[in-house]
A and B are shown apart, each in its own frame.
Chain A
Amino acid sequence: MADSNYTPQDATPRASRLPLREICLFGALLITIVGVYAAMGAAYSTRMLVEAACYAVLALGLTIQWGYAGQFNAGVMGFVALGGVSAMLFSVPVNDAFWNSELPAELGKVLLYAIGATLLVVAATKLTRLGVPKRVRTVFAVLLAIVLYMVVISLLRDVTADIESQADFVGGLGLPPWLGWIFGGALAGVVGYFIGHVCLGLRSDYLAIATLGIAEIIKAFLKNSDWLTRGTATVSPLPWPTPGPAELGFTLSRAIYLSLTAVIIAGIFFLLHQAYHAPWGRMIRAIRDNEISSAAMGKDINKRRLEIFVLGCILMGIGGGMLASFNSLFDPNGYLPLNHTFLVLVMVILGGPGNNLGTIFGAVAVYIIWIMSEPLALYLMDLAVAFGAFAFDWQAPANIDSRALQARVLVIGVLVTLVLRFAPKGLLPERVRHHD
């Protein structure tokens, strides 16, 4: 790379100002956390903090996609779910009923058939080299793909039905969860690679549409593949990488988990910080700010975009794994666009896209608001009902509690539009360096 030899002599900040804004915001956050501890008890609050830390990893993934590169990923939920399923499959105990039967061999056979079918179709697309006309080749390849797909899918349906009836589900590998987190990150990265490969050359709207779609597809797959994930029956408990609550009690075990997540976040933060200030980070920002001029300087825009997108997806996968392990439950129905896509989006744009510190602040602050809004909304709703009954003799609908929770959807939506309108750079904006 040409610019790796370039030493930025003038790239130091003009003057190191006192980070007053950061100190104030984090101080306020600290006071809030202490307040929550005082009000809700240590076990509950530590749980909240661990979840906030897992969300911070997701938010860091989104901040490099949206803040560093201006790509909008509307399907964070899908990548989170991939991380979750991977953490589940790696850490859950081995299912002997499955492994001692004929089923693994049959499943392997179907997978081999699938690989063979893919190779055949790929070979069919190369038929033009043998002198077959292009049109004939296309028709032949499509027909072959349809027939082979039908054969493989019928075989797969038989095997998965057998697995469900004989062994419940495939079970896990009984390995430490952190292996699952890493694999989940890799899995999310691979899916992100395919999506990015298709969409990143086009306008960013297409990426938003496609990621929204892939998230719903991943959820549909996990929900309906009972042989792999037990579907709606859910899998629990997932083991922790640290000593569990049974050994140390809730508060202490959660505190240890929290320190583990804090170490992970610190590691990610350090690496991202280095990357941001490296020539690579400058290049990424240059592409975001002026695509045409960076293309004119010979940067491979689509490749860099793909790198950033895959990197963000990997972080989301890891965060999803951490979250699933901590909840000790894998429930495909629990993945909701609101909780796992839009909440993360609010964290990023409120905290400051492109500013890692701001993103972490946003993640913790928004998660606390999110968790605390539930009792608050119920309280307000009760108040409104009491007032309505008193003043207008109004009969409240019976499901008022579930409706009060819907108010959170509203709040998140209002928050998104307000922040975009009045503070588009977030509370802690990305600090643009000025060069003298």
Chain B
Amino acid sequence: MAVMLHILLALVLSPLLLGIIARVKALMAGRNGPPLIQPYLDLVKLLGKSSVYSNTTTWVFKAGPLGVLAGLVVALFLLPAGRVPALVSFPGDLFLFAYLLGLSRFCMVMAALDTGSAFEGMGASREAALAALAEPALMVGLLVFVQRSGSLSLTSMFGVAASAPAGQSTPMIVLVAAALFILLLVENARIPVDDPNTHLELTMIHEVMILDHSGPDLGFLLYAQALKLWVTAGLFANVLCLGDLAGTHGSAAGSDLAGLTGLGLHVAGILIVALAVGLVESCMARLRLNRLPQILASAGALSTLALLLLWR
């Protein structure tokens, strides 16, 4: 039951994360800002419209939003929430998880390239360049947990139960969590990597790739963006073992109550991540584009350091 609840919560609540970020930014700037449910209203509005297609686009462009969203929904199925296991899990599912994110990105980039626009080509090239640096950092970070738990499945990788004495692994967890937070900002095109609110098309990465999408297609992409934020923030919460805080004391793994409390903490963790993203965006400027490899390299370094600590 808790498994299905987790999937349901993710599907329903993920647009709320975008609303929280917008609200935090507005409050920090002294404005009231849009209502928290604004992303839902946007989605309803977009789904009620019809899409407009340029003559230069092909089926690739139309398939793009579906592919992006599908990749993320399936990735969500592979993601555990604290003690609550993933809907689907098998040894090696972490690779599928990583490559579903990659597939989603691939669809996005292909749809952007399909428009033949110079802007979208630039955005696609930037996205691909960042991805090439972000993926190794993510894999190394996950490798830390593989090594620690001896499991190749996301569901059994995380959590205190999977580890040796808890105190010893704290530095590693902190390092990987820091790396993952950077990756979360990169993956979700937030400041300091990208500016989701800018109108300056020459500086954009993610936003410029969706310039030509409209109507339900744009709605799909907006929803996919929210879901991606949920999935990456969920991974972050798992790394911090937030869902475990409730159930560490002797309760059986299958206990529904402990599972539900854990899920609640997990979701709260995700909402706090949205809050943190909003705070980061309120007090930081964007980095220069050619500096982005450095921040990704630092994420990679943090992950690697965690791995070295483990092997020590």
Q: Do A and B come from the same complex?
A: no
